Amino acid sequence: MKVEISKTYNPQEVEGRWYAWWESNGYFRADAHSNRPSFVIMIPPPNVTGSLHIGHMVNDTIQDVLVRRKRMQGYNTLWLPGMDHAGIATQNVVERQLAAEGLTRHDLGREKFVERVWEWKKQSGGTILRQIRRIGASCDWSRERFTLDEGLSRAVREVFVSLYDDGLIYRGNRLINWCPRCMTALSDLETKYLPVDAKLYHLRYPVKGRPGEFVEVATTRPETMLGDSAVAVHPADERYNGLRGGTLVLPLMNRDIPVISDDAVDPKFGTGAVKVTPAHDPVDFEMGQRHSLQRISVIGEDAKMTAEAGAYSGLDRVEARKRVIADLEAQGLVSRIEPFQHNVGHCDRCGTIVEPLLSTQWFVKIQPLADPAIRAVEDGRVRFVPGNWAKTYFEWMYNIRDWCISRQLWWGHRIPAWYCGDCSEITVSRTDVTACSKCGSGNIRQDSDVLDTWFSSGLWPFSTLGWPEKTEDLKAFYPGSVLVTAYDIIFFWVARMIMFSLKFMKDAPFPDVYIHGLVRDADKQKMSKSKGNVIDPLGICDQYGTDAVRFALARMAAPGTDITVSEDHLESYRAFATKIWNAGRFILRYVDESDRLPSLAELKQSDLSLVDRWILSRLNRTIQEANASLDQYQLHEAARTIYRFFWHEFCDWYLEMIKLHPEQSKPTLLYVFESALRLLHPFMPFITEELWQSIPHKGETIVLAEYPEFGPELLDTRIEKHIEIVQELITKVRNIRSEMNVESKKEVAIRVATTDAEIVDLLEEARAYIFRLGRVSKIDVISALSADKLAAQAVVAGFALEVPLADLIDADAERARLTKEAEKIRREIDGLDRTLSNTRFIERAPKEVVEENRRRLADYREQAAKLTAAIERLN
Ligand SMILES: [Zn+2]
Ligand SMILES: [Zn+2]
């Protein structure tokens, strides 16, 4: 009985069915007790607020290709999925919902608000995980994690308390970036610096005791002058020799401030004198520390002026700026105001301009954690792919500053520190405490802040496996095998995972970090909502089929470059899926339910035709190349290799050639098609399973079938060369036929001019294929080209070909055709000439490449000579 599949491939019907079946059969589940080698990837946990965007789909496709292949290669694979609670982002979402109801989080109170966030998480938090399933990601859902899970929260506490005990977490009053809208501290990484058109105000501060003398300073934030505690000049700046150590009178506040010397001042900028506001500028903060200057906070957390701002107290910072300038102008203390473009920090979440403020926060002392993390990359325990990302990593790590980890939010891991109301002791504890650790007083309160969301995601490689418990999973699956991520979170996340893992697991979290590009549109523009060029991945999966989208993304994911997605790509990979489907339908025409998949041994004993031996050799070369590419994370190369084989060799040639002897070729046909499906499976999981289940196969699912391995015994370089010649010959005959408008039903006789016995034998052996595919009725071997003026001529790999067209062509058309071909070859020769006379190329290119170019040039010269002769003959 024949197996039937539908006439056209219907992804919608196929995809959901197989995914549910795979999942319910537990094919994606890792086994902590397996003795097979493990292959582990932790998914970069998407934000719980998120829904799948095209960047996730690239990231997940790459991971899935790697994981599916390793699973097929027999590894005990774990791809662990999960989500990040995404502190500030999630809190903002729920706050916006409340705002729509006319409420703030303070109306609800902390407990009710957090309940509400959990409620929201329950409803919509799983969206992205369902979407990840939808695109075929073979995650082990039995091990799904959430950064606010009980287990992961325990890990967070353990890390916090150990770091505190080691003196690596401290509480301090330091300058931090503050978002007055979100009302929370931000790390340097959560602050985005954007160019802003601002003004530079030049202010004059009177010199005390010398009426009419002033020092001029410049600032973009004149309202901060109310908190100035000095003016600084460079020690070597002679202009200020008489003023150094002197005193100025701070206008508006009438406060005496010193003139100090500091190397940090750039004498070439402006007047060489700068105002120093330690409470509102990071450079000034450090200068203040060096000179023991007062820190006067004049702007509060709400971006309003504080009581320290005197008459300006209570004003918004924007209003205060206007009033300060107006008052200074009234006193003649503004010398000029000029336009000025500079970078200003904005809150990464809400876009509000951040205010550098003095604030008491929790910090991680980072240097002792950063040093081992730098060494781990230096000595190759962690490798970036492509390698140039290591440079970016080092640059950041060498300049790393203490990490402010407390956030004035309610959604997140609450800081496990309790303050005593009686003796002011701070108790930091792994478990909740009810009494002060020093005086035993019950008058204590827990710190109301939560931790930066990246604190918990930094523990992801091991907290997900049950750490700090010594679990079976931790033993089996730590460290992981590779981290796959886009380059925009190297610092936020990758660096922190490396630091925390080295500290707490004494081992790097993964040997490889594969960094892929961001997705851009067909015009290479970054996708953004405001540009309106965002591609919805699920929309295109519906439209083109998930396999086609996955293949397109993998095909474009060359390491080190951004990924462009256009409709043309998607269109052409949908066509590829159709091609695969049609190949399956063709094969099923010859297959009965009684047919079995031949083993390699059985195959070798069967009656292999010339083209069978050829396709087996090509298949093996493809397997070899694809595996080599995948081992190097060159997914785009592997995809290209497999595509080329499947479409241009298997479908275009092999399937056509064996129409002459389908029964004889059936074992090879089944063997090659089944292998090709397995080769393709990591890229196109759905269509490959659907077809694999329809043809003879061994095993339960292609998910667990063996990934094709290179078998050198099937390679046959000589046959590959021969079929290449046959293909070229047929192509040339077809070209001549179409250019000369030979009716398709008419057969042509051809003449081949050669004295090469190997070619003569080949023409004999391949005669039937040439006849069928070239619509040829006769092949004559001649020793030299004839003088037949009405024969179209072409050059094929070292010999010449004639197609007598006496009844069909006029000499003019033929002359034009040959001239055109001669010009084309002339251009090739010119190009190669240029390349080969470029000394830089000769010196730098690999030897084989130079040799290959020389060989091609010689070939072209020979062809040009033959064409010239042919054209002359027509004249
Ligand atoms: Zn904000
Ligand atoms: Zn106490």
CA pair distance 461, 42, nearest whole angstrom: 7
* For residue 489, pLDDT beyond 80: no
Interval between CA 161 and ligand 2 midpoint (Å): 19
The distance between the two most distant Cα atoms of the chain, rounded to a whole number of Å, is 114
* Segment holding 503, helix H or strand E: helix 496-505
Interval between CA 415 and ligand 2 midpoint (Å): 18
Give the residues across from 247 on adjacent strands: 258
* For residue 153, pLDDT beyond 90: yes
Interval between CA 415 and ligand 1 midpoint (Å): 21
Interval between CA 446 and ligand 2 midpoint (Å): 13
* For residue 249, pLDDT beyond 90: yes
Q: Which residue has the higher pLDDT, 696 or 184?
A: 696
Give the per-residue pLDDT at 809.
Answer: 65
> Is the N-terminal amide bond of 81 cis, ω within 30° of 0?
no
* For residue 244, pLDDT beyond 70: yes
Residue 230, burial from CB neighbour count under 10 angstroms (0-12, 13-18, 19+): buried
Lowest mean pLDDT segment, chosen from 97-101, 139-143, 504-508, 718-722: 97-101
Nearest ligand, CA 445: 2
Residue 490 pLDDT grade (very low, low, confident, very high; cuts 50, 70, 90): confident
Interval between CA 348 and ligand 1 midpoint (Å): 7
* For residue 209, pLDDT beyond 80: yes
Q: Which residue has the higher pLDDT, 656 or 87?
A: 656
Q: Report CA 91 to chain centroid distance, whole Å.
A: 27
Residue 86 pLDDT grade (very low, low, confident, very high; cuts 50, 70, 90): confident
Express each pLDDT in 177-202 by its tens digit.
Answer: 999 888 888 877 788 889 889 899 99
Express each pLDDT in 20-51 by its tens digit.
Answer: 999 999 999 999 999 999 999 999 998 888 88
Interval between CA 101 and ligand 1 midpoint (Å): 21
Q: What angle do CA 147, 153, 156 make, to 5 degrees?
A: 95
Interval between CA 179 and ligand 1 midpoint (Å): 5
The two structure tokens encoding residue 366: 């980072």
Interval between CA 363 and ligand 1 midpoint (Å): 20
Sequence-separated contacts (24+) of 372-378 with Cβ below 8 Å: 372/499, 372/502, 372/503, 373/397, 373/495, 373/498, 373/499, 373/502, 374/398, 376/498, 376/502, 376/508, 377/498
Interval between CA 87 and ligand 1 midpoint (Å): 12
Residue 840 pLDDT grade (very low, low, confident, very high; cuts 50, 70, 90): confident
Interval between CA 435 and ligand 2 midpoint (Å): 8
DSSP-assigned states of every residue in 414-442: BP-EEEETTT--EEE-SS--SS-TTT--S
Interval between CA 429 and ligand 2 midpoint (Å): 14
Interval between CA 89 and ligand 1 midpoint (Å): 10
Lowest mean pLDDT segment, chosen from 71-75, 184-188, 468-472, 481-485: 184-188
The arithmetic mean of pLDDT across residues 195-210, rounded, is: 92
Interval between CA 167 and ligand 2 midpoint (Å): 21
CA pair distance 75, 809, nearest whole angstrom: 63
Give the per-residue pLDDT at 741.
Answer: 65
Supply the mean pLDDT for the chain.
91
Interval between CA 436 and ligand 2 midpoint (Å): 5
CB atoms within 10 A of CB 433: 16
- Which residues crowd ion ligand 1, with CB under 5 Å? 179, 181-182, 347, 349-350, 352
Instruction: Give backbone dihedrals phi and psi of 569, rounded to 5 degrees, phi first.
Output: -60, -50
* For residue 709, pLDDT beyond 70: yes
Nearest ligand, CA 442: 2
The two structure tokens encoding residue 7: 């006439």
Express each pLDDT in 801-816 by its tens digit.
Answer: 988 877 766 678 778 8
Q: Where are the alpha helices (DSSP H) in 125-178?
A: 127-134, 150-165
Express each pLDDT in 102-121 by its tens digit.
Answer: 998 899 999 999 999 998 88
CA pair distance 446, 419, nearest whole angstrom: 6
* For residue 788, pLDDT beyond 90: no
Nearest ligand, CA 441: 2
Interval between CA 414 and ligand 2 midpoint (Å): 21
Interval between CA 434 and ligand 2 midpoint (Å): 11
* For residue 466, pLDDT beyond 90: yes
Nearest ligand, CA 179: 1
Q: Where are the alpha helices (DSSP H) in 589-609?
A: 600-605
Nearest ligand, CA 190: 1
CA pair distance 132, 144, nearest whole angstrom: 12
Interval between CA 183 and ligand 1 midpoint (Å): 7
The arithmetic mean of pLDDT across residues 125-134, rounded, is: 88
* Segment holding 738, helix H or strand E: helix 717-739
The arithmetic mean of pLDDT across residues 716-728, rounded, is: 95
Residue 783, burial from CB neighbour count under 10 angstroms (0-12, 13-18, 19+): exposed
The arithmetic mean of pLDDT across residues 698-718, rounded, is: 95
Nearest ligand, CA 181: 1
Residue 427 pLDDT grade (very low, low, confident, very high; cuts 50, 70, 90): very high
Nearest ligand, CA 183: 1
Nearest ligand, CA 444: 2
pTM exceeds 0.75: yes
Express each pLDDT in 441-453 by its tens digit.
Answer: 999 999 999 999 9
Nearest ligand, CA 436: 2
Q: Where are the alpha helices (DSSP H) in 344-483?
A: 367-378, 389-398, 453-457, 460-463, 472-477
Express each pLDDT in 55-83 by its tens digit.
Answer: 899 999 999 999 999 999 999 999 999 99
The arithmetic mean of pLDDT across residues 462-471, rounded, is: 96
Q: How many residues does the chain have?
A: 875
> Is the N-terminal amide bond of 468 cis, ω within 30° of 0?
yes
Give the per-residue pLDDT at 596.
Answer: 92
The arithmetic mean of pLDDT across residues 556-575, rounded, is: 88
Residue 156 pLDDT grade (very low, low, confident, very high; cuts 50, 70, 90): very high
